[in-house]
Structure 1
Amino acid sequence: MKKVQKVVLITILSLLTACGYHLRGSIALPAALKNMYLFGASGALTGETKAVLKASDGKLAGSPNDAGIVVKVLKEDFRRRVLSVGSTGKSSEVELNYYLRFQFYDNKENPLQDEQTIEISREFFNDQTAILAKENEEALIQKEIYRQAVRMMMSRAQAAIENQKL
């Protein structure tokens, strides 16, 4: 019976690896993206960038000279807007807007692409009977917005590097 379990487990694991399964959060990065320098970003964006790079065997460089690609954040803005107000005068529905404008450079300060913009918007219901849970939900949504922005930025950086090689 134990041999059958081992065979089944090995078969399942080999099928998972053969189908291209990888851990959530990891991205296949080219060599130039495994060492990135981020300039002018907020702490939250920097933290998420570190996490995504770490999951993909990359890291943030200590200086632009050590980096394969430099990301210069030109403008970053996170806004919270109340969409509707309940009978108690408290917000019932909230919209979170994130705006990021940046540009890619090589380590010799040559621009790789024109300025890029990412805009992400999320709405959520703010139930006033579960205030603590909703605060946690808002923090989780903010974290996910930053993660999505980093993933979008990484895919654009990958395209910039590939276009540079052509």
Structure 2
Amino acid sequence: MKAFFSLKSTLRLLSVALLSLTVSACGFHLRGTYMLPDEIAKLSLTSFDQYGQLTRLVKSQFKLHGIEAVPPSATVPNLHLISESNGERTLSLYQNSRAAEYELNYSVRYSITIPNKASKTFSTKVTRTFLDNPLTALAKSVERDMIKDEMREQASRQILRQMARLTATIEALDEQELEAKLAEMEDTKAEDMPVSGTSASYNSTNTVNTEEVSTVEPGTEVGTSQP
């Protein structure tokens, strides 16, 4: 019985190892809980607020998912945090028309640039509900700030999750690049091929028919020969 479980564990380990090798061979690696493409194994981070809380949280996500943060360069993919915004709307009211429940919104706009391929802009949004209580105004103020911090942290996780979806985008860009190169090769090949009837050389011979002309002086009879 023990030998059976040992064999089963060995087969399971071999299956996991084989799956890992297959995934690595395809150009993707598991980093943290997401499968991120190799193109962003090294990534530079720029931000509208280089020392803000959101920037620090995204850097922490880099470390968590094994992404090496490097200085910005023309040859390195870049994640740029464009802006963040907070909003709220009233969901319900007390009998005295005072707001009782709010919906808090937190949005982040960012762009990802892959050298020699493309630059795309994305956005992520986090929504939470908040129940206000005028009798505990101070405690509710602290709670609101804590909720905003949690929303900001969740947004940083969602950014990494959306980056994992870049796989399809990169593959599409690679296909477009390949198709463009093939089309360029076809155009070059068509230009190099000779056009029928334009490059052939012709040896033309000009034939001049000459006729012997006899000059007859005036007063001279022209005789006709009898057959």
Give the paired residue count.
151
Task: For structure 2, list consecutive stretches of 5 or more residues without a partner in the other structure.
Answer: 20-30, 176-227
Q: Cα distance, 1:122 vs. partner?
A: 2.5
1:98 partner letter = Y
The residue aligned with 1:26 is: 33
| Cα distance change, pair 147–25 in 1 and its aligned pair in 2 (3 A) | farther
Q: Does the CA contact (< 8 Å) of 1:113 and 1:160 recur in 2?
A: no
Query: Structure 1, residues 33-66: CA drift from partner, whole Å, max 9, x if none?
Result: 1211222344233223222221121132222346
- Secondary structure in structure 1 of the residue aligned to 2:129: strand
Letter of the structure 2 residue corresponding to residue 34 of structure 1: A
Unpaired runs of 5+ in structure 1?
none
User: Equivalent pairs: percent with the same residue?
Assistant: 21
Q: Which residue of 2 aligns with 1:95?
A: 103
Query: Aligned partners of 1:111 and 1:72: how far apart in 2?
Result: 16
Residue type of the partner of 1:95? E
Is the CA contact 2:92–2:100 (under 8 Å) kept in the aligned structure 1? yes
User: Per-residue deviation at 1:162?
Assistant: 3.0
Equivalent in 98, 116, 125 of residue 122 of structure 2 = 116
1:1-166 equivalence runs, <5 A: 18=16, 26-42=33-49, 43-65=52-74, 67=76, 69-86=77-94, 91-107=99-115, 110=116, 112-127=118-133, 129=136, 131=140, 134-135=143-144, 137-166=146-175
**d(CA) in 1 for partners of 2:159, 2:41:** 14
Pair 117,61 (structure 1): closer, same or farther in 2 beyond 3 Å: same
Q: Distance in 2 between matches of 1:91 and 1:25?
A: 41
Letter in 2 for 1:159: A
Q: Highest relative contact order (Cα 8 Å, sep 6+), 1 or 2?
A: 1
Return the letter of the residue paired with 1:154.
Answer: M
Query: Is contact 1:44–1:146 with CA below 8 Å preserved after alignment?
Result: no
Q: Give the deviation of 1:158 after TM superposition.
A: 3.6
Largest Rg, 1 or 2: 2
TM-score, normalising length: structure 1: 0.62
